[in-house]
Amino acid sequence: MSGFEIAGMVLGALPLVISALEHYANGINTAKRFWRYKSEVRWLILQIKTEEGIFVNTIEQLLTGILRIEQMTEFIAGGKFWQEAGIELALKNRLRGAYEIYVDNVRGLESALQRMMKKLALDSDGKPQFTDPSLFKQEYKRLKFGISKSEYDEQLSALKNYNQALTRLTKQSLELEPSRAAKRSCPNFNALQSYARTLFETLRSGLRCNCGGHAVKLRLESRAQRIVQGEDLLEHTPFRVIFTYATDAGTLLTHSSFWNWTEADIRCIPMVADKPKQVHLAPCINDASPQPRAARRVKFSRVQAHQSNSSTTVTDAQQQVTVDSVPTPEQIQDLCKAVVALQQPQRDLCIGYLIDSVKRKHAIYPLESPSNCNQQQWTAYSLREVLTQRTNIGRRLTKHDKLRVAVDLASSVLQLYKTPWLDEQWSDNDVYFIHRPGVPLSVYEHPFVYRRLPSSPGSLSVSTSQQAAYRVIRNQTLFTLGILLIELLYGKPIEELQTPRDLDCQGTPGIAWCTAERLIKEELEFEAGPRYLDAVRRCIRCDFNRKESSLDDKDFQQAVFDGVVAPLERTLQQFISLD
């Protein structure tokens, strides 16, 4: 049983213990011989209620800024959020080195409550074994449950000690969080960039057809929580993609009238023979996307849990999945045929792997679509279409959507810089959202970038949005990010935010630059707060106090991470905690 799943058990056990003692107190009232225990049982009830209140308050403090208010109520009541991977990651990031200590104290609480429940002689459901209080005397002789406070001194002392430790750890972690956030090291973006290039080329070279109708959409997500280096990063970082292929190769590339869609995770698997490997899965706070066919559960401890009907094994606190080699995945010889085969009803956990130029294996794990979802009805809409309201989505971007997408875009710029996935001259026409009719998730959960998969390198598609380069724009990719952050905030394309004085732009990079500068000086702070303003300002002006301005430079990456990604994350966290 995992650490914070045990916290849910503690929250469930405390009311059971209190209810049992209250039941016994009613029984004592019917048995004159036991009246001397009235005050002792009332004292026990008060002490345990006090510890329950302290524990609930502590958990709420710990989760503030991680869960929204409406989620907090369900979480405290033992809802599904106890098992979410994103919660584990956020708690680890908040508690840092104290995480395991925190979990051990939660286990201590659970153990003390289990001993109390045993002394109360409760049944397997945690309830007294008799319901009629008038039977208290004979049931007491039969069950010999404890009603004296001296019998519970040890457990009460343990509850108080563990609770005090959790309260102190929570208070210290929250007080240290601002300074810790300022010291964060950014992920290994150079390794991510290299892998993104390799992944695109591996997918492209995997095609052995001349149909020309293949495309792939790569999901953009923040990987800022993952601090891993070198080759380990590749094994621990799945990339979510949607393969599309046209039934008519002459159709448009973005909308879905003649397209088949297949969603999958791609993971770099290790080159170790005859040994199952633990593969870390990607974290997704509040991610409601379809999941791979194999059942998975989040684990906070080192206790293993085995599925009875699968070779998949869920292990330790790093949310690892050991995939046995039954059946053994085979190399995919033709990606075109493999993707087409995925439209058939039966799918394996892993359909096979592609091999890149350095002999690494890239395994493809298809995701099962909900039964009520017709993939033929899926549609991709660009951010430009969303902003100009030329979609059939039926819902607008909320403030929460905007901030979450902003974080994904900012982190993805660092991940995909100078890769085939993201042109330097990118725009709101290059960012897509997937509308899945019948799927109960937000269409704005994660943005995607779209690329065709030509069968030869010479036919790679490039963005049609070409802009002149200006000296004042030191990094075009970051400048575009700044424009998109403004467009997201206002829910309008930059052209609709122009005023007549923005048109007087002679000697400047253009109208968009003048509009952005005016909004930075006059409006943005009041619309979105100082952190969002600073992130936009740094992107538009490339203001990072660095001579270097290339996003493949590690020092500049750290500066952009600190000055853009981290402030946007904190803005999102603050919004979640207040919402």
Q: Which pTM value belongs to this model? A: 0.64
- CA dist 385 and 392 (Å) reads 10
Token pair listed for 231:
């080759």
Q: What is the pLDDT of residue 259?
A: 65
Q: What is the pLDDT of residue 466?
A: 42
Q: What is the pLDDT of residue 416?
A: 95
* Segments in 353-471 forming alpha helices (H): 383-387, 399-416
- CA dist 211 and 205 (Å) reads 14
| Chain CA centroid to CA 281, Å | 11
Q: What is the pLDDT of residue 370?
A: 67
* Segments in 145-211 forming alpha helices (H): 153-182, 189-205
- pLDDT by residue for the chain (579 residues), tens only, comes to 555 678 888 988 999 999 999 999 998 888 888 888 889 999 999 999 999 999 999 999 998 877 777 677 777 776 555 556 567 778 888 898 899 999 999 999 999 999 999 999 999 889 999 999 888 988 888 888 888 888 999 999 999 999 999 999 999 999 888 777 666 677 888 888 998 999 999 998 888 777 766 889 999 998 765 544 444 566 667 899 998 876 554 444 444 445 678 888 998 876 654 444 443 433 333 344 444 444 333 333 333 333 333 333 333 333 344 444 445 678 888 888 887 776 554 454 788 889 988 888 898 888 877 666 777 788 899 999 999 998 888 888 999 999 999 999 999 999 999 999 999 889 999 999 998 887 767 789 899 999 987 755 555 544 444 444 556 789 999 999 999 999 999 999 999 999 998 888 776 788 999 999 999 999 998 998 999 999 999 999 999 988 888 998 999 999 999 999 999 998 988 887 654
Selection from 343, 366, 340 nearest residue 353 by Cα: 366
Q: What is the pLDDT of residue 289?
A: 44
| Assigned CATH class of 393-451+468-577 | mainly alpha
C-alpha torsion sign, points 145, 148, 152, 156? positive
Answer whether 62's CB lies under 8 Å from 165's CB.
no
DSSP single-letter state for residue 249: T
Residue length of the chain: 579
- CA dist 533 and 538 (Å) reads 9
Q: What is the pLDDT of residue 316?
A: 38
Q: Note if the bond before 327 is cis, omega within 30 degrees.
A: yes
Selection from 377, 381, 400, 561 nearest residue 481 by Cα: 561
| Residue 204, C-beta contacts closer than 8 angstroms, at least 6 positions apart | 453, 454, 455, 457, 460
Q: Domain residue spans in the chain?
A: 5-183, 189-248+258-270+330-377, 393-451+468-577
| Residue 341, C-beta contacts closer than 8 angstroms, at least 6 positions apart | 351
Q: Which residues of 491-510 are buried (b: 16+ CB within 10 A; e: fewer)?
A: bebbeebbeeebeebeeebe
Q: What is the pLDDT of residue 232?
A: 56
DSSP single-letter state for residue 450: E
| Residue 573, C-beta contacts closer than 8 angstroms, at least 6 positions apart | 65, 66
Q: What is the pLDDT of residue 53?
A: 95
How many CB atoms lie under 10 A from the CB of residue 187? 24
DSSP 110-162: HHHHHHHHHHTT--TTSS-S---GGGHHHHHHHH----SGGGGHHHHHHHHHH
- Name all contacts of 554-561 with Cβ < 8 Å and 24+ positions apart: 554/190, 557/186, 557/189, 557/190, 557/414, 558/185, 558/186, 560/414, 560/478, 561/184, 561/186, 561/189, 561/224, 561/414
Selection from 178, 250, 266, 277 nearest residue 217 by Cα: 266
Selection from 338, 336, 357 nearest residue 347 by Cα: 338
Q: What is the pLDDT of residue 342?
A: 67
